[in-house]
Amino acid sequence: MDILKVSAKSRSTAVAGAIAGVVRECGRTEVQAIGAGAVNQAVKAVAIARGYLAEDGIEIVCIPSFTEVIIADQERTAIKLLVEKK
């Protein structure tokens, strides 16, 4: 499964397009974000992607959870948003 990593500087519309493209192709994707700004952009992107996919008659669900990732030899907690067709 593709993992889309979102930062606070990510454009939510660009991430939404990526989410929509992967969901159309694979049926699901995972979005990871670390920090409040990144989580904000990721959630906005899921909302925008929902609109993009609705135009094609595709409904999605978003399942949030925590995950641990290693960055520069440090363990960090990230938000993981599993986005998949309903």
Residue with tokens 């609109």: 51
CA 66 to chain centre: 13
Q: Supply the range of the domain harboring residue 50.
A: 3-85
Q: Output the pLDDT for position 2.
A: 75
Q: Output the pLDDT for position 43.
A: 98
Q: What percent of the chain lies above the pLDDT cut of 90?
A: 98
Burial class (CB in 10 A: 0-12, 13-18, 19+), 8: middle
Average pLDDT in the chain? 96
- CATH at residue 18: 3.30.110.20
For the chain, the domain total comes to 1
* Ranges under pLDDT 50 in the chain: none
Cα-Cα-Cα-Cα dihedral sign, residues 26, 28, 32, 33: positive
- Could you give the CA distance from residue 64 to residue 41 in angstroms, rounded to a whole number? 14
- Could you give the CA distance from residue 74 to residue 80 in angstroms, rounded to a whole number? 18
